[in-house]
């Protein structure tokens, strides 16, 4: 039988490492058809949805303002 994860302990350790102060989670809603198409495309390109979204955010933040 697989060992149970101790999520409370993992959370406390991540707080001690300062991870809770360095990162934020962003959420959004999209139609299921768009989600499925996006998921399939990222899987076909052997990447993750979150890495693509992080890249988009970085490009957007770093682009020149008019």
- Model pTM score: 0.65
The Cα–Cα gap between 3 and 29 comes to: 34
pLDDT digit of tens for each residue in the chain (66 aa)? 888 999 999 999 988 998 888 888 899 999 999 999 999 999 999 999 999 999 999 999 999 886
* Tokens representing residue 1 in the block: 């039988």
């Amino acid at each position: 039988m697989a060992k149970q994860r101790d999520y409370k302990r993992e959370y406390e350790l991540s707080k001690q490492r300062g991870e809770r102060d360095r990162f934020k989670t962003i959420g959004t809603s999209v139609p299921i058809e768009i989600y499925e198409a996006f998921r399939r495309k990222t899987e076909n390109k052997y990447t993750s949805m979150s890495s693509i979204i992080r890249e988009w955010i970085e490009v957007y933040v770093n682009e020149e303002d008019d």
